[in-house]
Chain A
Amino acid sequence: MADGANPENSAQGSGETRREFLYLTAGAMTVVGAAGAIWPMIDSMNPSADVLALSSTEVDLSPIEEGQSVTITWRGKPVFIRRRGAEEIAIAEETPLADLPDPQTDDDRVEKPEWLILVGVCTHLGCVPLGQKTGESRGDYGGWFCPCHGSHYDTSGRIRKGPAPKNLEVPPYVFLTDNSIKIG
């Protein structure tokens, strides 16, 4: 470009660059603006403040007797709370890990051995297992039995037989006092 010194040419050249720069800036700002406008809409579909306010629940355990189960609702799902007897605890603790499809010690699944707290949703396809009420089938291992596709859970809520891949989920919870817990 020997004639690059030509004032007319160089003026045109820098004009082109400036124009390109303005185009790019304009395009970039349009994209940023559109993204900034769309994000609040997408975010609006996340759980709202009133839903989040109900995402933890406190439960008074004192009315539950040994060998009794109650079902409460937490985040729209059933939560099984079972006050286990000594025999049930012993069976759960003595089961060898080798017998378990999803190996986990009973100790890892409870805060206090007396209280077993589980999300009552079968890990296969989301049915609610039987075994909470007296007279309901509790499966071959004395825990819960899912009637949809025949999954058997033991007294620690662990999967023993059937199509479910995982143990019943333990929700996050803390003991507020000896007799009350906060789930979530």
Chain B
Amino acid sequence: MKKILSGLFAAALGFATVPANAAGDAVPLPDYEWSFDGVFGTYDKASLQRGFQVYKEVCSGCHSLDLIAFRNLADLGYNVDEIKAIASEYTVEDGPNDEGEMFERNAIASDYFPSPFPNEKAAAASNGGKAPPDLSLMAKARVGGPSFVRALLTGYEDAPEGFETGDLSYNKYFPGHLIAMAPPLSEDSVEYGDGTAATVDQMAADVSHFMMWAAEPKLEARKNTGVKVMIFLIIFTLVMYAAKRKVFAKVH
């Protein structure tokens, strides 16, 4: 009977993998290692800060980050004053004031990152007809997650012979290989404050790390809670098993 049970579970879970794998013809992603993988995984704050710098100096020209507020940067290890300073570099629209006019002011910690474009149509119009997607959930909205983002950022190469690219770029990992985004990163696109060499690989790793945090900011709390809950459940189950054995011992 135990065999039947485990078989059923395996089968049920087995076909749960179907949708995850079903997305098509992309090249298999490299097997990256992430600090947030595994049972006890956590984010690497230094990498998050570098990734944020890459977002700020490279990506944010075209890509919004709608769901992230400046106050969230506390997760990256910034303190209240640093967050205030970062926020004040941005202006946001507020209002209407008493005269009924909208006005611009410096952002504060509770504001959200402003979008580079006023609306989606404007974003599309400035980018050859296709609006650059928001990056807040990018690391959860693609098959492969952060590894896909990282592979994509390093996956630009010359199109194979006879492959017509037109205005688009060729990317090994993009489904269909034709991507509207031109290669965004080049050697030393940013200058890291902590002295890390800004290679394309390094920047891609950092910004994907940052995007994973943006998409799943509660990952550390989740794994942390999970370990405690799991320990409780295992003890709970062992006690119940012992009690069950004891109760059924006299049944014949």
Contacts and interface: CB of A to CB of B under 8 A. Distances in A.
Direct contact of A and B (CB under 8 A): yes
A175 B187 CA distance: 48
Contacts of B219: none
A29 B69 contact: no
Nearest to B98: A70
B232 interface: yes
Contacts of B69: 50, 53
Contacts of A30: 236
Given A53-B109, A53-B110, A23 B232 contact: no
Given A50-B69, A53-B71, A22 B242 contact: yes
A22 B243 CA distance: 6
Nearest to A54: B110
Interface in A39-71: 49-50, 53-54, 58
Contacts of A53: 69, 71, 109-110
Contacts of B252: none
A77 interface: no
A25 interface: yes
A19 B244 CA distance: 10
A75 interface: no
A33 B242 contact: no
Contact of A25 (B71, B110, B232, B239): B239
Contact of B243 (A23, A32, A36): A23
A36 to B, nearest CB: 7
Interface string A13-33: 000001100110110011011
B197 interface: no
B5 interface: no
A11 to B, nearest CB: 13
Contacts of B247: 19
Contacts of B246: 18-19, 22
A33 B236 contact: yes
Given A18-B246, A22-B246, A36-B232, A29 B109 contact: no
A32 B232 CA distance: 10
Interface of A: 18-19, 22-23, 25-26, 29-30, 32-33, 36, 49-50, 53-54, 58
22 contacts: A19-B246, A19-B247, A22-B239, A22-B242, A22-B243, A22-B246, A25-B239, A25-B243, A26-B239, A26-B240, A26-B243, A29-B235, A29-B236, A29-B239, A30-B236, A33-B236, A36-B232, A49-B71, A53-B69, A53-B109, A54-B110, A58-B108
Interface of B: 69, 71, 108-110, 232, 235-236, 239-240, 242-243, 246-247
Given A26-B239, A36-B232, 19 more contacts: A18-B246, A19-B246, A22-B239, A22-B242, A22-B246, A23-B243, A26-B240, A26-B243, A29-B235, A29-B239, A29-B240, A30-B236, A33-B232, A33-B236, A49-B71, A53-B69, A53-B71, A53-B109, A58-B108
